[in-house]
Amino acid sequence: MTVQFTIDGLEVKAKEGEHLLDVARRHGIDIPSLCHHEAVEPIGACRVCLVEVRSGQKTTITTSCNFLVEDGIEVHTDTAEVRKHRAMNLELLLARAPKSDVVRKLASASGVTRTRFEPLAYEPLPNCILCELCVRTCDMLGHHALTTVGRGDKKRIGLPFNKPSDNCVGCASCLSVCPTQCISVKDTPTQRAIWGQKHDFILCKVCGAPVITKKHRDFAISEKGLPEDYYDTCEKCKQSAASKRFASVVW
Amino acid sequence: MQAFKTPKQLQAHRKKIIESRPADRKAIAVCAGTGCKAFGSLSVYDVFQKTLKSSGLDKKWELRATGCHGFCERGPLVLMFPSGTLYQKVKPEDVDEIVEQTLVKGKTIKRLTYQDPVTSKWFRREQDIPFYKHQHRLVLKQNGMIDPTSLDDYLTIGGYGGFLKALKMRPAKVIDEVKKSGLRGRGGAGFPTGTKWEICAGTKATQRYVVCNADEGDPGAFMDRSVVEGNPQSIIEGMLIGAYAMGASKGIVYLRQEYPLAVQRLGLALESAREAGLLGKNILGTGFDFDIQINKGGGAFVCGEESALIASVEGRRGVPKRRPPYPAISGLWGKPTNINNVETWATVPLILDRGHKWFSSIGTEGSKGTKIFSLVGKVNNTGLVEVPMGMTLKEIVFGAGGGIPDGKSFKAVQTGGPSGGCLPESKLDTPVDFDTLVQEGSMMGSGGMIVMDESTCMVDVAKYFVGFLKFESCGNCTSCRDGLQRLYELLSDVCEGRASMETLDLIEELAGTIRATSLCALGTTSVNPVLSTLKYFRDEYVAHVKEKRCPAGVCKSLITYTIDEKNCNGCTICAKKCPEQAISGKKKKLHIIDQQRCIKCGICKDVCKYDAVIVA
Ligand SMILES: Cc1cc2nc3c(=O)[nH]c(=O)nc-3n(C[C@H](O)[C@H](O)[C@H](O)COP(=O)(O)O)c2cc1C
Ligand code: SF4
Ligand code: SF4
């Protein structure tokens, strides 16, 4: 079923079951957010993507990432109330991640350049804003190596039982989605250090560049049924080999 | 117990058992609820059992170990039927005398009866005691009448009458009955129960669930525990009626592990219901299948929130999820799931048995029936009180509660658990119902009621509850997780004399965002204690900020203990009791407190018989 409603006066159509933030972005309306990624289910953690939704007599402030669109609603993305509360949540996050460019940029766009709260960071992930994108992505990829630990003010991102996890294949997808880039991943030409473990790289047979960690290769080949030699050469060398083959056929 | 194959068989057995146990038969009910048990009521029970047997009185007197009677602070409680005589603080040594004097000679032992601390009047009968007199006990009353492990006892007081009536109706008619009764959920939000059932029943599905929320995480609240411990069959019957009405075949009771007695009693009750053919396949030959399992909760407050509860039952972390979809449409494993609170379920059989008109005749326009509160704090009578909706706070605190002890004056009452608001004296005439409490900045919650007197610091109270909630927040939302932590820091600044007037503004601003932007009701209601105290007791905040003074003499950083020259007669007791050896002075000479060493524990003030220790 389609639903029809307005965002900042613009008439939009969407499918029932869609989330408001996705619909807004599709229509070119930007709503700032930190914990949203289209690849994983929204959880509404950062409380930055606030909007005002008017439905009949009722007006509510809500996060848009996990708000299921409804027919006939009137959405406003930039009211005084929205700005006020968004600024406060960003001020809270700025105290957690004072060094994060993304957080600082969003905060200053909301008029927040300093925070009235004491710094609040935890080791080994200073600047972590507990958006759980790393955990959700790791879960979605089927590894389940990361988890949240504790609750309330003691909540952290970490490894189950605080021990290096056998499930971690060293793919570093967590870092690639981390908005504050606070996860420590250190690569040498042959090894990757991540989450308390070292992973050997498979090196490209042609150029010797790292292709993928051994453990990640084993996981991908068995899970996705790829050919054994799939990761023997790196993407670059694979492409140049292919273009050479292609050239020999055409010319 | 025989297995009943038809409703008729059950009905016949009920009739037989009710006739064989006339209402005026002689019985002794020893409370075996958690509170009385802690006071040693099981030994009292044992001595009764032996004494009755050896004297042959066991043929004349029925002895029962029952669930909680609500007046826990006076335990162990022994209630006698049909006379209604209540003995309190009974010790095993008292049993011989009770048997000789009361059971044999019919005499009252005055010293075991209740003396009102306010009026000094003595009361023999339970129903005359002010604590009970102001109550209207529908759900709790049954606790005192039955042995919770006996299905027959439950049948004697009319148990399963509601279910038998429901079986004669179409499921939609049952829902209609609940709707018309006006019953609203007792777990906090007060959602109309019948409407929720209708939504669940109306959602197309091959499988539906009914869930009993017995997580009860509010500190100090124990009404749900008392019902599960004291009358588990009433919950089973309520869930049976609901399952029949909504077409659910599976039931789950989410019960906290910290309630071992409740887990045990409910387990026994489920077994006997199964044996009697009241749970399982083809119940009473009607073709209706339904069974209940217990899911033990680990004790996180947030797991009482229904979407977190669902996650927890499914084996995930107890983190709330945005609703809609509501559980009644998509709950456990995506199936329609109707979640109700313990008290809600326990009320349902009464409605079916006695009819919606009877139920809706009790209470107010918008809130029907009765509600159980756990009345605690600075009040003469503490315990569980069940009152009709719409009774004023004053009637509860000063009627059933008997007012404030030690001649102190009332300051505030907090309703609704850790995230309820604190209402001042000027609001004591507020009728207690779902809507009025919210209008006044508090809430019904699950029924916690904490009374505070002049010696309570309202900033300290707000800080305490925020401290609890920041710990119990699931940690998902920035506003709730970090917001509450920051709010706690700011309130600590006030309590410790570091705050300025801007701090108060920031507290209000932050509280506004926590309320407006958190995902679940833990976050959105968490600021009630702060905003209500800021509204009604602002002067106390200001005194902390501007004068660096705690008017109630609670906040350690802002008070000093000194010894009054005039009153001190040098008895030396304070010096002996001070854990820090901070007090010096010769016998019969003025004593002095070394401020450097004093940790402000207040022990000197408590032990001084001459009122010589001053807090300022
Ligand atoms: C933080 C939080 C804790 C809750 N704890 C409980 C609880 O312990 N018991 C309960 O019945 N409901 C609790 N609730 C309310 C439930 O979410 C739900 O509304 C209730 O179980 C529905 O039952 P009812 O309609 O019979 O009240 C809690 C809600 C929140 C937000
Ligand atoms: S480590 Fe990065 S991705 Fe993970 S929760 Fe923290 S900020 Fe989010
Ligand atoms: S409001 Fe608090 S408890 Fe509720 S989901 Fe958000 S963080 Fe968790």
pLDDT in tens, B13-60: 999 999 988 878 899 999 999 999 999 999 999 999 999 999 999 999
Ligand 3: distance of its center to the CA of A152 in Å? 9
Q: Note whether A166 contacts B: Cβ–Cβ < 8 A.
A: no
The residue of chain A with its CA nearest to that of B520 is A44
Residue-range domains of chain A with CATH: 1-119 (3.10.20.740), 133-246 (no CATH)
B264-279, pLDDT tens digit by residue?
999 999 999 999 999 9
CB B445 within 8 A of CB B420: yes
**Closest Cα to residue B66, out of B58, B76, B56?**
B76
Rounded to 10 deg, the angle between the B260-275 and B232-246 helix axes is 60
Query: Mutate which of A3, A19, A47, A53 to disrupt the B interface (most B C-beta within 10 Å)?
Result: A47
Instruction: Please state whether beta strands B209-214 and B337-341 pair in parallel, antiparallel, or not at all (unpaired).
Output: parallel
pLDDT at residue number A240: 87
pLDDT in tens, B357-386: 999 999 999 999 999 999 999 999 999 999
DSSP H or E stretch at residue B508: helix B501-517
Local structure of residue B333 (DSSP, 8 states): G
Pocket of ligand 1 contains residue B63 by CB under 6 Å: no
**How many A from CA of B347 to the centre of ligand 3?**
30
Interface check for B481 against chain A (CB to CB < 8 A): the answer is yes
* Ligand nearest to the CA of residue A138, numbered in listed order: 2
Is residue B188 predicted with pLDDT exceeding 90? no
Partners of residue A151 in chain B, C-beta under 8 Å: 300, 302, 471-475
In this complex, do A81 and B300 lie within 8 Å of one another by their Cβ atoms?
no
SS3 B368: strand
What is the reported pLDDT for A250? 61
* Packing angle, helices B223-230 and B342-354, rounded to 10: 60
Pick the residue whose CA is nearest to atom 1 on ligand 2. Answer: A128
- For residue B240, name the pLDDT band (cuts at 50, 70, 90): very high
Q: List all residues 6 or more positions away from B178 whose beta carbon is below 8 Å from its beta carbon.
A: B193, B194, B197, B245, B348, B351, B352, B356
pLDDT in tens, B65-75: 999 999 999 99
Task: Give the pairing of strands A210-213 and A197-203.
Answer: antiparallel
Gap between the Cα atoms of B597 and B84, Å rounded: 56
Place of tokens 């009949």: A56
The per-residue pLDDT for range B399-418, each reduced to its tens digit, is 999 999 999 999 999 999 89
Amino acid at A226: L
Pocket lined around ligand 3, Cβ cut-off 6 Å: B 302, 320, 473-477, 480-481, 518-520, 522-523
Phi, psi of B325 (to 5 degrees): -70, 140
Q: How far apart are CA A73 and CA A11, in angstroms?
A: 10
What structural domains and CATH numbers belong to chain B? 24-126 (3.40.30.10), 159-360 (3.40.50.11540), 370-453 (3.10.20.600), 458-546 (1.20.1440.230), 560-615 (3.30.70.20)
Mean pLDDT of B239-250: 98
Residues of chain A with pLDDT under 50: none
B438 CA: distance to closest CA in chain A (Å): 17
Instruction: Supply the pLDDT for residue A248.
Output: 72
- Reported as a single tens digit per residue, the pLDDT across B544-571 is 999 999 999 999 999 999 999 999 999 9
CA distance B418 to B526: 8
Could you tell me the pTM of the whole model?
A: 0.93
Rounded distance between C-alpha atoms, residue B338 and residue B205, angstroms: 13
A69 contacts A5 by C-beta, under 8 angstroms: yes
User: Between chains, do B513 and A116 touch, taking CB under 8 Å as contact?
Assistant: no
Check residue A249 and give its pLDDT: 67
Q: What is the rounded CA–CA span in Å between residue B151 and residue B195?
A: 31
Whether residue A61 lies within 8 A of chain B, CB to CB, comes out as yes
CB contact under 8 Å between A152 and B470, yes or no, is yes
Q: What mean pLDDT do residues B333-339 have? A: 97
Strand (E) or helix (H) holding B142: helix B141-145
Those residues with Cβ within 8 angstroms of residue A231's Cβ, 6 or more apart along the chain or in another chain: A202, A211, A212, A217, A220, A221
Whole-number pLDDT of residue B211:
98
Is the pLDDT confidence value at B428 over 80? Answer: yes
Q: pLDDT band at residue B294, thresholds of 50, 70 and 90?
A: very high
Ligand 1 atom nearest the C-alpha of B306 is 17
List the one residue out of B230, B210, B33 whose CA is nearest residue B139: B230
Cα distance between residue B133 and residue B481, in whole Å: 44
CA distance B370 to B121: 28
pLDDT at B254 over 70: yes
With CA atoms as reference, the chain A residue closest to B490 would be A117
